Amino acid sequence: MLFYQTDREFRAFLASRSGQHFDQFIRIAGGMNVDIPDVRLKHDGLASPTEPGPMPVRRKNGARANRETPQLVQELRRRISEHEILPGGKLKDQELAREFGVSRTRVREALAELELRGLVERIPNKGAVARRLELPQVFEIYDVREVLEGLAVRRAVECEDPHVWQEFLDTYDEEFERKVVGGDIELYEKEFTRFRNKLIEAARNPVLASMLDSVQDQTQIIMRRVLVLPGRVERGIRDLRLVLKAMADGKAEEAEQLRRSGIRSAIEDLKRYQRFVL
């Protein structure tokens, strides 16, 4: 299992993989919930690899707080990442407390967690709002996504039976492509989500899982918009086939580079059509 005992080791590793300073990862994938310097999950045992939970609140009524705050965080994460709460939309603690039947203290704790995840920002004289990503920030996040997903692919190949990835490869057959190109984008999204969840589970690194989830939260809507750009879904299927073939063959380094190349291709499409997407 890939696990770094010190912050220095983890900084050095990420710098070697990306050419960027570790602090940029922390700033962009802000909800990592990691103790520095020893890189341990604060919510040990409470989060799955694909659904990291917030740090438990230890109060006299700690059991209830531990139930309320994570549930509130998860629902607000969903609403913000799916743009049910639009960028710039206000998050009023009194209204949220009334809607969810919790105290304003619980709401403020949830908003603080979402701020760490990069989904919420506090604006003077306005309060907490859903964060609006500017164009340079979107490209920064995609740069980070490239490195993190490449790492996840490599670790998954090293830790999991190759037959697992052959099963996923078989899914992306000609019939699948025909349906997706014909307009069934939901099918593509469903199967990619299934692959992504297995990928993160197989990588067996909770720090990496938390960072990937933070990136996913911030870019989910943009990813969907990129997917419907001209020719993008066909290129996406082709790129995933190449990645999965390398994974099924046990070629970890090749699979990592192919995944990174695929994400760079998506970034190029995003840049080309940015005024229609953002």
Residue by residue, DSSP assigns 86-118 as -TT-B--HHHHHHHHT--HHHHHHHHHHHHHTT
| pLDDT score for 31 | 43
Same fold: 31-130 with 135-277: no
Note the pLDDT tens digit of each residue in 60-96. Answer: 444 454 557 788 998 998 898 888 898 899 999 999 9
What is the tally of helices (H) and strands (E) in the chain? 13, 2
Determine the average pLDDT of the residues in 23-46.
Answer: 40
| Every domain of the chain and the residues it spans | 31-130, 135-277
- pLDDT tens digit sequence for 195-212: 999 999 999 999 999 999
Distance CA(232)–CA(71), nearest Å, equals 35
Q: Which CATH number applies to 31-130: 1.10.1240.10, 1.10.390.10, 3.40.50.720, 1.10.10.10?
A: 1.10.10.10
The long-range contacts involving 9-14, CB below 8 angstroms and separated by at least 24 positions, are 10/39, 10/207, 14/147
Nearest residue to 150 (alpha-carbon basis) of 46, 7, 16: 16
CATH class of 135-277: mainly alpha
- For residues 112 and 129, give the distance between their C-alpha atoms in angstroms, rounded to a whole number: 12
Tell me the per-residue pLDDT of 171-188, one tens digit each, with 9 for 90 and over: 999 999 999 999 999 999
pLDDT at site 172: 95
Half-sphere exposure of 156 (CA within 13 A, CB side): 31
Q: Which residue has the tokens 């696990």?
A: 3
pLDDT above 90 for 134: no
The pLDDT of residue 56: 41
Query: How does DSSP classify residue 160?
Result: S
How far is Cα of residue 160 from the mean position of the Cα atoms in its chain?
Answer: 21
List b or e across 13-32, with b for residues whose CB sees 16 or more CB atoms inside 10 angstroms: ebeebbeeebeebbebbbbb
CA 71/CA 66 separation, integer angstroms = 9
Evaluate if residue 256 carries a pLDDT over 90. yes
pLDDT, residue 225, reads 85
Per-residue confidence band for 224, with pLDDT thresholds at 50, 70 and 90 = confident
State the pLDDT at residue 136: 86
pLDDT band for position 29 (cuts 50, 70, 90): very low
